[in-house]
Structure 1
Amino acid sequence: MAINILIVLAILNAILGTYMLNWAWKQIKPIRDQDEARDSQFPPFRRTDLKNWSLFKFYLGAITVLPIRFVLGAWVCLVLFIFFKIVCIGHSFENDAPVQGWRKRVIAVAYKVMSTLLLRCGLAIKVDYKYVKYDYSKYLGSDYLKTQKFPNNISTYVSNHVSWSDIIVFLNVKQPAFASKVELKRIPVFGFLCQALGCIFIERGGTKEAKDYVIHQIQERQEAIEKEGLYPPMIVFPEGGTSNGVSILPFKKGAFASFKAVRPVFLRYESAGVSPAYDVMPFLPLYMLQCCSFNFTCTFTELPPFIPNEYLFKTYAQAGKENWEIYADAVRDIMVDVGQVKKDNSSQMDKIKYEILLGYKKERELKKTE
């Protein structure tokens, strides 16, 4: 009897997995139908892994593990939600008050455990951690190690942004807070998971006032972390969005406007099949293809803290450039060197233009960003 039930479940699993893969495959037809004249205009956002795709291998994953892995992701979120609700009984999140004491430690451990489960069983991503003692003397002067002074707590990690999986990887290695859209706070389950972690919710907009307010929010959080350590360190993806990982885009002002110390991180994914890069592929099809695949590796390369000084600003001064830009460019150059990738001056608006050509977004999305 038990064997018969298992056989029926296996058949249902295979049928559901096949249906899910067929749906995902249909959704990414604009990407599969390569057009070099179109795609070559957007080098940091085009797919670089199409030659490695094998529909046969995707089907093998679909009929065996796709539905199970897909459900596992939802299960992890639900378990964390229920657990954190219990842990946070008696704590008020009014005005985004941070979780402290034993609650903070328990939440960090829970994120570590559940992200490990999700990475290994749900996404098959192996994380390799590396610490590189990078020499910053080119940017900070030969005696920078003797003169630099750091706060008790480094407030900010800055990293290149390749995939939605970056968040899971960071939760596994560092358990930092994130700068999230304020809309996420209103989404059931996810909003509370972000609150428990101590995320900062920012109101993004196209006006100068809105952008200035975002910078103000980030600076306030940086100061709170440095002086009091009430919140966990914050991760900022200064490119402002994801790319295909072959280059690093220009950095935005947010993390650098306060001239506080940052800790650079470079993420690199390797896979024989589909890349986890969240470039222009829609989220659900990408997640499903990842769930059909095996043997991903993410190398997490952490560098020493970097804090700007007068040597940097004088040596790299350029007409028309503000000091925050000099700071951001130095960190970007360092990450390019560590990752052995290129610099590309495309913007997230270029990505939206590409998505419009692929049929994934409408013209009005571009107007919202301008």
Structure 2
Amino acid sequence: MCQVDPKHLPFARNDRYGDMGIKPQPLAEKCRLAVLTVTILPLKVIGAASCIIGFYLVCRLSEVLPASMKMPVTALLGKFFSRLCLFFIGFASIKRVKVGHAAWDRSKGDGPAAGIVSNHCSHTDILIHMARSFPSFVARGGTESIPLIGFISQKMQCLYVEREAKGANAKGISAAVKERMQHAASGEGPAERPMLLFPEGTTSNGTHLLPFKTGAFLAGAPVQPVILKYGEGSVSPAWESISAPQHLFLLLANVCHSVTVYELPVYVPSKEEQQDPALYARNVRQHMLRYSDLKPSDAVLADKRAYHAKLKGEPAKDTKKRE
């Protein structure tokens, strides 16, 4: 039996379509997909596209509102359109559960958070958070130029960064995140719009929790840990080891999906954690592992890329330089 590298386990697809979404299917499944492709899929595409266009128009029209009303109206309607878009994608029901609150030490505080830290599995993660709290988030560079989506992200006051940013560019985005969170923690910023951060730095298949980067913890401000757990079904909403077009097709060609959102108590850092972002990051990660069935993994983006290269039969790249 082939030995599986433990660092590849968080990136393997665990649905019926397998890695890369090309696992051979029986005739019955091919027929089912064919029927759904010409019936349900077009309706889903039209519905989701309508939500994006509708919210884009809301963002444009909000420009005429008084400054004090722009963000509250945009956020309220943003939550509505995000939830409606999720409905059309197939998330008819989203279960939300508060965990750990009964055993939480209230002496640590339980006030508003300056940021949301969440595990990262899919492109639908952002929509799920938008439907709940409509946060700002760090988007990939170039997002601001995408038709419709770009203007929406600007209205959400997103920060943009290149994935491979190094040196001054990486420090610049970290400083911007830190400043935004400190501003929110001071009470001067809008409490209903914290930063949404995915400290793992990449997506996994939802079974493991990867090491946390320190960017979300540099401000030493309270954070709201959230764990997303997608339900098992014909197709996994987790975006792993599969091309974006193939994943989007399978997601829309299957009728329904499920997700449970586990909300942990706001984590208020100690003085030691405020002075040591790496310690703060490790402790929040352990806190999230404690209240979930996720498995710890030390795999990083380089390991995911190595796994993808293996699946494609490409030469393995040097992953000694950890990311």
Coordinate RMSD, CA, aligned: 3.2
1:367 CA drift (Å): 12
Identity %: 26
What's 1:289 paired with?
Answer: 250
Alignment partners' CA distance in 1, 2:314 and 2:145: 23
What is the deviation of 1:36? 5.3
State the partner residue of 1:346.
299
Structure 1 distance, partners of 2:80, 2:106, is 36
Kindly provide the CA deviation profile for residues 162-189 of structure 1, in whole angstroms up to 9, marking residues without a partner as x: 1111111111111111111232112221
Asked whether 1:83 is paired with 2:36, we answer no
Give me the whole-angstrom Cα distance separating, in 1, the residues matched to 2:165 and 2:8: 23
Answer whether contact 1:126 1:295 (CA < 8 A) is retained: no
How far apart are the structure 2 equivalents of 1:348 and 1:235?
A: 20
Q: Per-residue deviation at 1:230?
A: 4.1
Q: Which residue of 2 aligns with 1:124?
A: 91
Unaligned ranges ≥5, structure 1: 1-34, 92-99, 138-143, 314-321
Moved more, 155-164 or 301-310: 301-310
C-alpha spacing 1:299/1:365, structure 2 compared with 1 (3 Å): farther
Shift in CA distance, 360/300, structure 1 to aligned 2, threshold 3 Å: farther
Are 1:226 and 2:185 counterparts? yes
TM-score (norm 2): 0.85
Match status 1:240 vs 2:198 = no
Task: Name the aligned partner's letter for residue 289 of structure 1.
Answer: L
Q: Structure 2: how far apart are the matches of 1:311 and 1:136?
A: 22
Aligned residue number for residue 187 of structure 1: 146
Q: Distance in 2 between matches of 1:361 and 1:230?
A: 48
**Structure 1 pair 234–38 and aligned structure 2 pair: CA distance change class (3 A):** same
Tell me the SS of whatever aligns to 1:250: coil
The within-5 A match list for 1:164-203 is: 164-203=123-162
The C-alpha deviation readout for 1:6-35, integer Å capped at 9, x for no partner, is xxxxxxxxxxxxxxxxxxxxxxxxxxxxx9
Does 2:234 correspond to 1:273? yes
User: Does the CA contact (< 8 Å) of 1:155 and 1:261 recur in 2?
Assistant: yes
Aligned-residue offset at 1:220: 0.8
SS of equivalent residue, structure 2 residue 240: coil
* Amino acid paired to 1:262: V
SS at match of 1:86: helix
Instruction: Report the secondary structure of 1:241's partner residue.
Output: coil
Secondary structure of 2:237's counterpart equals: coil
1-side partners of 2:123 and 2:9: how far apart? Answer: 19
Question: In the alignment, does 2:44 pair up with 1:69?
Answer: yes
- Asked if the contact 1:246–1:341 (Cα under 8 Å) also holds between the matched residues in 2, the reply is yes
Mapped to 2, the partners of 1:365 and 1:60 lie a distance apart of: 44
Query: Relative to structure 1, is the Cα distance of residues 149 and 302 closer, same or farther in structure 2, using a 3 angstrom cutoff?
Result: closer
| Structure having the higher Rg | 1
Quote the residue 1:115 is aligned against.
82
- The offset of 1:221, in angstroms, is 0.7
The 10-residue stretch of structure 1 (360-369 or 189-198) with the greater mean CA deviation from structure 2:
360-369
- Cα separation, 2, equivalents of 1:365 and 1:213: 28
Change (3 A) 1:56 1:331: farther
Aligned to 2:8: 42
Structure 2 gaps of 5+ residues are 19-24
Q: 1:41 to 1:156 in 2, by over 3 A?
A: closer
**Does 1:308 pair with 2:269?**
yes
TM-aligned CA distance change 1:81 to 1:368, over 3 Å:
farther
Query: How many residues matched?
Result: 312
Name the structure 1 match of 2:22.
none
1:255 has 2:230 as partner = no
Greater alpha carbon shift after TM alignment, 159-168 vs 64-73: 64-73
Distance 1:125 1:37, change over 3 A: farther
Structure 1: how far apart are the matches of 2:318 and 2:44?
A: 32
CA displacement, residues 288-345 of structure 1 (integer Å, 9 cap, x when unaligned) = 11111123111111111112214779xxxxxxxx822221111111212222110011
Query: Structure 1 residue 245: deviation in Å?
Result: 0.4
Which amino acid is the alignment partner of residue 105 of structure 1? Answer: P
> Residues 188 and 348 from structure 1, CA distance in 2 versus in 1: closer, same or farther, beyond 3 angstroms?
same
Asked if the contact 1:119–1:126 (Cα under 8 Å) also holds between the matched residues in 2, the reply is no
Q: Greater helix share, 1 or 2?
A: 1
